[in-house]
Chains A and B, each alone.
Chain A
Amino acid sequence: MSELEKNPEAAAEELPPEALEDPLYFDPEPKEGASAHIRSFPAAPEFMEPLGYPGERPENWKEVALNKMKDLRGKFRSFRLFLDICVKCGACTDKCHYYMGTADPRNMPVGRQDLLRSVYRRYFTLPGKWFPSLVGARDLTEEVLDEWYTYYFQCSECRRCSVYCPYGIDTAEITMAAREILDSVGYGMKYTNEIITKVFKVGNNLGLPKPALESTLEDLEEEIEDDTGVKVRLPLDEPADILLVTPSADFFAEPHIDGLIGYAKVFHATGAKWTLSSYASEAANFAMFIGSYENMRRIALRIRKAAIDLGVKRIIIGECGHAWRAAYQFLNTLAGPFDFLDPNYPVPQHICEYTWDAIQKGQLKFDKSQNDWIKLTFHDSCNVARASRMGDYPGGQFDIPRNILKAVCNHYYDMPEGTIKEETLCCGGGGGLLTDDLMELRKKGGSPRMKALKQVAEEYGVNKMAAICAICKTQFSKIMPEFGFGMDDIMSVHQLVSNAIILPGSEQEKELMEQEEKEEAADAAE
């Protein structure tokens, strides 16, 4: 046990003041093993086999692991190249939020890569075979395997490191490969693999079967009608023009569900014929987290099948960071080509692209004052920021959500430079780490983002943060109370849209018209 854990308060006093304020603060002295004790639960055999992995570690696990490494090296240029060309310059060492939060050098991106690179060198390169200690090569042992499991499940695959690396080395690629190797020897992670199994069985991460979805959607329709007096539909499995695929947390969790209400209202206001699918009731693709293209494809194909079966013309993805990456960078690649869809729209499209488009066309009417009590900032979800795009120019993924927020909210402030847009800090719970067994890591990894938020809270009185990622939202509602915020200080982007939107024929429209009339009358009286 380290000093820090024995006596956390004493340690807090010793910390320099900037450690508590500067979002980008990192400990200049790495503390080896500081987060070695944080380990997620491994998966039971019943959650390995459905994914095509062995339930137990095979006798010849070492051979299997090395063969897998060889296989991946032949299949992924990123993996092979990144292991070869890192010059150990150190530019990435202070860029990972898990290093900032834990000071464990194995959480420095290059430190994380080296866990695997050292083994790769030993078995696949001449210098490593001949002079292992000279080039930092080591044998593959059980301890090494455990170390991989520990630290490759302390990476959220957020790609922040790849922004600063002179060669674009993306530790997320190494992490994915490492997890695939671990899975191949029966050493999977409970949380990710359980969820993937659920998708195969039921269709979504939460395990909500069709009847549960139906009743949820009905409840939401009632709620909207009570609120606005307008009958807004949330169709399920109906023939339509648009298939909406959204993370299943949107059916269930707060503040996600308010975002779903927002999408429904936008679709209603634009007169779109849309539907959800019970078969493809999940936009998230956790197989991406474990680097398994086969499983990722199996999940992606559900979207293809649903699109064919429902006869839609477009596919739109709801608010989710990694799901948007899985859709943007992988859907076409794994389940395409989508030549049966309407070629006038990109496949897939993001709900924010749709909403922004409608705003620009003047199809949506807002009463921004509904959000006047909110001073808002926006968390760029890392997978959206660094692994995707929105709109038709680079960086559209930063502008479009902000444009929407500014269209529905009068008080918007960005968090400090260096913590937003392409440099955004991960929420700390991405990449398959959103599990209670990793709570300590999630808090520590989320602390840089929380410090950035605190800065704008103090400077501008920001009281809410919006996000477009299901994982971010869940993670923040969990950790924000630890940092002096409320658990509902995280909001969905489309929740803010939903607050401000004026549906044709709604109570809100009537109120607004009455108010306008009164104002006009007052003006006339003067």
Chain B
Amino acid sequence: MLTTLFALLYYVAFAIFVGGVAYRIWEYWNTPKPANIPTTPAPTTRLGVAWRMFKEVLFFESLWKGNKWIWIFAQLFHASLWLIIIRHARYFLDPVPTIVVLAQPFGKYAGLTFVLGALGLLARRMFVPRVRYISAPSDYLMLLLFIGIGFSGLMMTFVNHTDIVAVKAFFLGLMTFNWQPLPSTLPLLVHLGLVAIWMIIFPFSKLLHAPGIFFSPTRNMPDNPREKFQPVPWLPPVDQVEYDPPHGS
């Protein structure tokens, strides 16, 4: 029963996540960038843009200029998330790749820093008046969701060990359409339930910032409007226009 429920939940969540994000990317991709509008000074070449993007995505370069506290908490949060994702790959891959094995010991503690980062961001949201002003209920809930995911995960790692072999069997079973029973411990069910919610809301929420940053015109365009002619797609070409008549002089 529980196994069936979670199996179906995960199929649905996964479909929404992948389909939704793919759809959004398709949308962004197909929306024109009618003018060359990088925030300057900006690199003038594609390679330069790749470097700028690399620094933004990994090191949050702009955020560093903007606010050191947010940067610290955001880095804690996102760097931990990377480690956690790598660590969790062992539930889906058999055999487990070396890099995932190497990440194990760090991944374990990344759970702690992940929750810490989220708590820091939550504290800012609650106690910095400017940030409180711009926060909607969904912004708090989003952080609580992450804290919930992190906390339930930590419970399993440090307090109430789960039968991870069975968990792995469950997920491998999902992937091969050969369902295996899911251990029914509370932290695990909470953990998996929240992760499914996260996947479902992803394509409809600000979580889109993750794929979105790569499409941001102020960051991903090389600064070359003079060098390269980039016409506005919906305006007629210049040889088909009418000019304003000269003024009587």
Contacts and interface: CB of A to CB of B under 8 A. Distances in A.
A84 B35 CA distance: 20
A87 B43 CA distance: 26
Contacts of B44: 389, 392-394
Contact of B218 (A126, A168, A336): A168
Contact of A337 (B201, B213, B229): B229
A329 B36 contact: yes
B128 A90 contact: yes
A203 interface: yes
Contacts of A86: 206, 209
Nearest to A165: B62
B209 A87 contact: yes
Interface in A237-287: 278-279
A85 B210 CA distance: 8
A78 B39 contact: no
Q: Which bracket fits the contact residues of B?
A: 35 or more
A126 B35 CA distance: 29
A271 to B, nearest CB: 25
Contacts of A28: 129-130
A55 to B, nearest CB: 21
A92 B39 CA distance: 15
Nearest to B67: A91
Interface string A122-160: 000111000001111000000000000000000000010
A499 interface: no
A365 interface: no
A25 interface: no
B209 A78 contact: no
Contacts of A76: 31-34
B219 interface: yes
Nearest to B42: A394
A133 B223 CA distance: 40
Nearest to B39: A162
B218 A162 contact: yes
Contacts of A422: 39-41
A219 B177 CA distance: 87
B241 interface: yes
B204 interface: yes
Contacts of A211: 249
A305 B124 CA distance: 55
Contacts of A111: 133-134
A84 B212 contact: yes
A395 B128 CA distance: 34
A278 B247 contact: yes
Interface in B181-231: 201, 204-206, 208-209, 212-213, 215-219, 223, 225-227, 229-231
A341 to B, nearest CB: 11
A433 B37 CA distance: 22
A96 to B, nearest CB: 11
26 contacts: A28-B129, A76-B32, A85-B208, A85-B209, A87-B206, A88-B135, A90-B131, A93-B134, A105-B134, A127-B204, A162-B218, A164-B67, A167-B219, A168-B39, A169-B216, A279-B247, A293-B34, A294-B235, A297-B241, A305-B243, A328-B225, A330-B225, A387-B39, A394-B41, A397-B40, A423-B65
Interface of B: 24, 27-28, 31-37, 39-44, 56, 60, 62-63, 65-67, 70, 74, 121, 124-125, 128-131, 133-139, 141, 201, 204-206, 208-209, 212-213, 215-219, 223, 225-227, 229-232, 234-235, 238, 241, 243-244, 246-247, 249
Given A162-B218, A166-B74, 15 more contacts: A84-B212, A85-B213, A90-B134, A91-B66, A105-B134, A114-B134, A127-B138, A133-B137, A164-B66, A168-B217, A297-B232, A297-B235, A329-B36, A336-B231, A389-B40
Query: Considering the complex of A and B, which 8 residue pairs feature the smallest CB-CB distances, nearest first?
Result: A164-B66, A136-B136, A91-B66, A168-B218, A394-B41, A85-B212, A90-B131, A210-B249
